[in-house]
Chains A and B, each alone.
Chain A
Amino acid sequence: MTTPKIQPDFLIRLGNLDRRWLYLLLLVSLSLTLLYSPLFPDTPSAFTRPIFQRIEELSPGQSILVSLDYSPASAPEIEPMAFAVTRHLLVRGIRPVYVTLWPEGNNMLQEIRSQVIEVDFPALEEGRDWAALGFKSGGPLLINALRQDLSAMYTGDLRGVPLDSLTALGGAKKLADFPLIIAFSGGTPGLKEWILYGGDPTGTPVAGGCTGIGTPEFLAYFPVQLMGLLGGLKGASEYESALAARYPQRDFPRRAGRRMGPQTVAHVIVLLFLVLGNLSYLRRRSTTSGPSTPASGGTR
């Protein structure tokens, strides 16, 4: 018994396409989109809105704790949201107090200082309008200590100015004195530790931002243990759009919004080839005669 010879058609040949053509297509498409930098309209989701609303409800002069728990590896996703939230806080006159559970967090803080505060808010003064306490090791143990007493772990800010002289703290002595904790998290320790050891025991509302890959893990905590979540670049773009709609006169940069253009193009290409790949598989299976095998695309 002979197996009939099958003429490979377009769909079957597509299934054998060298993946490097896909990489090339993705690279060219993303590069072209980046050159044009289109700004797609975006609206805040149900996860983003609570954070924006909460910050809008805070009174000018109040201090909130912001934890920068990310590094250059996760900065492409997290940094735009940290920038946008910092702009929102400072434009409202709310005083962010920056800490970090990651050693690289001090460098990320330096980026906020040089790219956001010094550029968009040059009149603001460190120690009075915002404070940088920086990195201390310990992760959950550090949060536990801050729950009892800020001065147990921090004697001063990164410049060495004593804690008592920092008016940006607004008299906060412990974690529960802050009306809100915002943690930007690229991994562990990060947002989860702030929920478990900071927010849950003290009742202080916790909001956060995380990488795309970490988002599903944190959705389980929303909205009871986590009041709002910025998930990946999309979350950052949503926050930027909310900020632009509320404060159009400030014309803040929209870094995440500009990068959602290439992101959208990449998603369309991935989806397209996902559909074509499945069609190719079905076509191959339908044209294969005889006992099906995994190698020939048969059923398993």
Chain B
Amino acid sequence: MSTHIEVWIGAALTLMVLSFLWRDNPFYKFAEHLFVGVSAGYWMVMGFWSTLWPNGIVKLVPAAARVTDPGAELPPQEPLVIIPLMLGCIMLLRLWPRLSWLARWPTAFAVGTTLGYNLVRVVRSDFLAQIHATVAPGVLLASSTGGIDWVASVNQWLILLGTACGLIYFTYTRRGRGLRNGPARAGLLILMVAFGASFAYAVMGRVAVLVSRLHFLLGEWLGLV
């Protein structure tokens, strides 16, 4: 059994959280509130020291770099950093009802620049490249032998047909009757299989986390593993 206080605290908090499986109780509530509080504090501190300090304060006042590292080389001053800092401060005006309208300006700026920055890349990588990969040649050749790679080719056709059927299922402009109904039903089945696979992956992830916690309890805390 562990003799380290931090392991005992970790084990106690793990058991408090797992106690929710029995029913809601004060121990669970305590662990939950503690987690939320510690997380908020942690992210506040991390946000300040990892983003606001090096990207804002230090660039505006280079001498501030020596607050965290007395031997640090002083970076060049970047006075234009005052603009994003001001926009950040204006965003906080949302807290004052009379001036809250001003907060729309930095929000609009952030939304606009993010959209402009991401649009081209997302269209190229998530849209055009995906279409290109989906409609790749129907017969694929094995790179090692040069012959037909039957498994890859069949997979390619399944992806193409599955995508087409899925898109037909989501076409609502006409009632699904006759010829369109078959592909739409196939699309529905393919979507069900995809959701099932996603759910199975989710179960695997959750079980991995549970196993990790049990390993901590049985191993690091009790010393049985």
Check: B124 CB closer than 8 A to any chain A CB.
yes
The stretch of B24-32, B184-192, B197-205 in contact with A is B197-205
Check: B209 CB closer than 8 A to any chain A CB.
yes
Interface residues of A in 256-281 (CB under 8 A from B): 259, 262-263, 266-267, 270
On chain A, the residues within 8 Å of B22 by CB distance are: 20
The stretch of B91-99, B103-111, B170-178, B211-219 in contact with A is B211-219
Check: A167 CB closer than 8 A to any chain B CB.
no
On chain B, the residues within 8 Å of A234 by CB distance are: 204
- Given A23-B21, A200-B125, A224-B133: A212 and B205 interface contact (C-beta under 8 Å): yes
Check: B66 CB closer than 8 A to any chain A CB.
no
Contact of B207 among A73, A135, A263 (CB under 8 A): A263
Per-position 1/0 for A200-230, Cβ under 8 A of B:
1100000000011101100010001100000
Chain A residues within CB distance 8 Å of chain B: 20, 23, 26-27, 30-31, 34-35, 37, 73, 75-77, 103, 135, 137, 140-141, 155, 160, 195-197, 200-201, 211-213, 215-216, 220, 224-225, 231-234, 259, 262-263, 266-267, 270
- Given A35-B224, A103-B46: A212 and B125 interface contact (C-beta under 8 Å): no
- Interface SS, A side: helix
Between A and B, how many residue pairs show CB distances below 8 Å?
104
- Given A20-B22, A34-B225, A262-B211: A232 and B205 interface contact (C-beta under 8 Å): yes
A212 engages B208 (CB within 8 Å): yes
A224 to B194, CA, bound (A): 20
A160 to B198, CA, bound (A): 43
A267 to B198, CA, bound (A): 14
Pairs A–B under 8 Å by Cβ, sample size 29: A27-B214, A34-B219, A34-B225, A35-B224, A37-B225, A73-B209, A75-B212, A76-B208, A77-B208, A103-B50, A137-B50, A137-B55, A155-B73, A160-B71, A196-B121, A200-B125, A212-B202, A212-B208, A215-B201, A216-B197, A216-B201, A224-B129, A224-B133, A225-B125, A233-B204, A262-B214, A263-B208, A263-B211, A270-B203
What is the CB-to-nearest-CB distance from A255 to chain B, in angstroms, rounded to a whole number? 9
10 A-B pairs closest in CB distance: A212-B205, A76-B212, A212-B204, A212-B201, A137-B51, A266-B207, A233-B208, A213-B205, A213-B202, A196-B125
| B205 and chain A: residue at smallest CB distance | A212
On chain B, the residues within 8 Å of A266 by CB distance are: 207, 210-211
What is the CB-to-nearest-CB distance from A270 to chain B, in angstroms, rounded to a whole number? 6
What is the CB-to-nearest-CB distance from B205 to chain A, in angstroms, rounded to a whole number? 3
| Contacts A26-B210, A216-B194 supplied; 7 other A-B pairs, CB < 8 Å | A30-B211, A34-B215, A77-B208, A212-B208, A225-B133, A234-B204, A266-B210
What is the CB-to-nearest-CB distance from B75 to chain A, in angstroms, rounded to a whole number? 8
